[in-house]
Amino acid sequence: MKRGHYDVLLKPLLTEKITAMREKGNKVGFLVRRDANRIEIKQAVESVLKVRVERVHVLNVMGKLKRMGRFAGKRPDWKKAIVTLKEGEKLEMYESV
């Protein structure tokens, strides 16, 4: 089954740490599908957001164990991608935030 570029990127990540990375190192963060790889993420960012990508770092984030009294549960695992944009590139969606 072939996935489209819009299926790979789930949503942008807006945290304090990623905001500092964006201002300092021209990097942006995305929540991506668990089965997506670096090549698919790079192609999706370049086609959907119309920017050139230099590098992609991928992290698997394990969900935390949470308890409510004697009942234990687990948050879902997820995958985070830190995308480094080439020099001179910037995203307008982050500039208005």
- Residue 90: per-residue pLDDT: 83
Of 42, 39, 29, 32, nearest to 7 (Cα)?
32
Q: Where are the domains of the chain?
A: 5-87
CB atoms within 10 A of CB 79: 18
Give the span between the Cα atoms of 63 and 70, in whole angstroms.
19
Q: How many residues does the chain have?
A: 97
pLDDT tens for residues 41-79? 999 999 999 999 999 999 999 999 999 999 999 999 999
pTM, to two decimals? 0.86
Of 30, 34, 33, 11, nearest to 21 (Cα)?
30
Q: Mean pLDDT, the chain, as a whole number?
A: 92
Distance of CA 51 to the CA centre of its chain: 15
CATH number for 5-87: choose from 3.40.50.1220, 3.40.50.2300, 3.40.228.10, 3.30.70.330: 3.30.70.330
The stretch 11-33 carries a mean pLDDT of 93
